């Protein structure tokens, strides 16, 4: 069947956009759409063609967004029905089963463009799926996709009980959507009475508040980086900065740390870290501080010695325009940590911002080490867990930089 027989509006794009798509990037910006063959409703599918009329792909159109078209296929023969989306979900889930093995109690099931579901995030927390929908095209098809998610995972024995929508993010406004959160009503399924669950990651249990926690409730991308920290923690005094729910701190305790101090500026985060410590019976090995790390590190007394410091800050930059100020923030905390650590101490440091590109982050670390008059012996350079797959032709999917160093 020719794509022209599908009846979709055709969007003619610039030569530059055609080149970008042929190189594997799924976004077409507003200035790159040169002509539409008819009227199109926002969120509907359009067939994308070159200026010579050659088929390039099919994607969701949205006049509200600077990303005017988000491609979901480059196959002219695809039919975008429930069978299509079920195949895509199975493909994504089978990938997780391959790369995560039996480690599926908590994982990312769908990672947006990396799984060709543009603008859709699905996280699995034990028996709950938490979804975040950031593109109008996905929003308009959630009544197809969400029941299929429930079906595919439960047919594989995952015992999913509910789907919760975490759409309380302002970026939805850029797509012409409203914010909100709540359970998605699946036919015939009784909704849970609470909005929290307990997950197990790396053998550690966590309370996850998927209604009010950051993002979807818990950061899954650092799963194996936490294991790497655990392996270095034995017998050490550890300072875990920006602890959030205590995940790095708890892994350090499990790895045999002598003592771990967990710090966060949020009282709610510190309280959740305490609860997670109690859940695992780790209270005797931990202390907690509610403090601004930027204020804390310069004022720590010399008697408060640590030989392992973990820096897992939130994204200091979410756009190219703020990269310079972010560099200063990253340098400040890394410089302070390097000065606090004695020779032979260990440093874990990371950035979760795509805009803080790897070379910039490494430049910052070199500068901080120079000013701290120390040398860095690299142990490991790591990235996000494989359930957050990186597409090399989509740089935006590569965002997490994680380094382990010894101070020498």
What is the 8-class DSSP label of residue 174?
G
Helices 142-155 and 82-100: crossing angle in degrees, nearest 10, is 40
Query: How far is 405 from 150, CA to CA, in rounded Å?
Result: 42
CA dihedral 228, 234, 240, 243 (to 10 degrees): 60
Q: Is 107 a catalytic residue?
A: no
Tell me the C-alpha distance between 322 and 329, whole Å: 11
Orientation angle between helical segments 323-340 and 358-372, nearest 10 degrees: 40
SS3 70: strand
Contact (Cβ atoms closer than 8 angstroms) between residue 289 and residue 296: yes
71 close to 21: Cβ distance less than 8 angstroms: yes
Return the CA Rg of the chain. 23
How far apart, in Å, do the first and last CA atoms of the chain sit? 65
**What's the Cα-to-Cα distance from 82 to each of 92, 145, 155, 342, rounded to whole Å?**
15, 8, 16, 59
Catalytic residue among 107, 241, 350, 352: 352
Q: Which DSSP symbol is given to 114?
A: G
Instruction: For residues 24 and 392, give the distance between their C-alpha atoms in angstroms, rounded to a whole number.
Output: 9
CA distance 145 to 385: 24
**Consecutive H or E run containing 129:** strand 128-133
In total, the chain counts a number of residues equal to 408
Yes or no: say if 342 and 305 are a contact pair by the CB < 8 Å rule: yes
Which DSSP helix (H) or strand (E) runs through 371?
helix 358-372
Separation CA 170–CA 61 (nearest Å): 20
Q: Where in the sequence numbering do the catalytic residues fall?
A: 352
């Amino acid at each position: 069947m020719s794509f022209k027989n599908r009846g979709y509006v055709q969007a003619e794009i610039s030569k530059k956009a055609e080149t970008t798509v042929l190189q594997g990037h799924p976004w077409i910006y507003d200035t790159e759409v040169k002509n539409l063959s008819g009227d199109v409703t926002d969120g509907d599918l359009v067939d994308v063609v070159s200026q010579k009329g050659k088929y390039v792909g099919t994607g969701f159109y949205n006049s509200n967004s600077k990303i005017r078209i988000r491609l979901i296929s480059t196959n002219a023969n695809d039919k975008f029905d429930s069978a299509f989306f079920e195949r895509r979900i199975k493909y994504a889930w089978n990938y997780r089963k391959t790369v995560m093995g039996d480690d599926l109690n908590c994982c990312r099931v769908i990672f947006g463009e990396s799984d060709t579901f543009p603008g859709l995030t699905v996280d699995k927390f034990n028996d709950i799926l938490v979804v975040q929908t950031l593109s109008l095209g996905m929003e308009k098809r959630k009544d197809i996709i969400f029941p299929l998610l429930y079906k595919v995972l439960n047919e594989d024995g995952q015992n999913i009980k509910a789907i919760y929508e975490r759409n309380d993010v302002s970026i939805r406004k850029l797509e012409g959507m409203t914010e909100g959160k709540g359970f998605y009503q699946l036919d015939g399924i009784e909704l849970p009475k609470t909005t929290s669950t307990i997950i197990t990651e790396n053998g550690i249990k966590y309370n996850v508040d998927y209604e009010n926690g950051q993002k979807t409730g818990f950061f899954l991308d650092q799963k194996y980086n936490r294991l790497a920290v655990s392996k270095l923690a034995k017998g050490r005094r550890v300072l875990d900065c920006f602890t959030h729910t205590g995940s790095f701190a708890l892994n350090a305790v499990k790895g045999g740390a002598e003592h771990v101090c967990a710090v966060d500026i949020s009282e709610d985060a510190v309280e959740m870290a305490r609860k997670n410590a109690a859940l695992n019976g780790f209270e005797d090995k931990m202390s907690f501080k509610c403090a601004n790390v930027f204020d804390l590190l310069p004022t720590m007394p010399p008697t408060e010695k640590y030989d392992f410091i973990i820096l897992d800050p939130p994204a200091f930059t979410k756009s190219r325009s703020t990269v310079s100020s972010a560099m200063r923030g990253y340098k400040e905390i890394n410089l302070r940590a390097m000065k606090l650590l004695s020779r032979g101490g260990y440093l874990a440091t990371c950035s979760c911002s795509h805009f803080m590109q790897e070379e910039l982050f490494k430049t910052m670390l070199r500068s901080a080490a120079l000013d701290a008059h120390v040398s860095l012996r690299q142990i490991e350079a790591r990235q996000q867990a494989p359930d957050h797959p990186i597409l090399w032709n989509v740089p935006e999917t590569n965002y997490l930089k994680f380094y382990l160093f010894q101070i020498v």
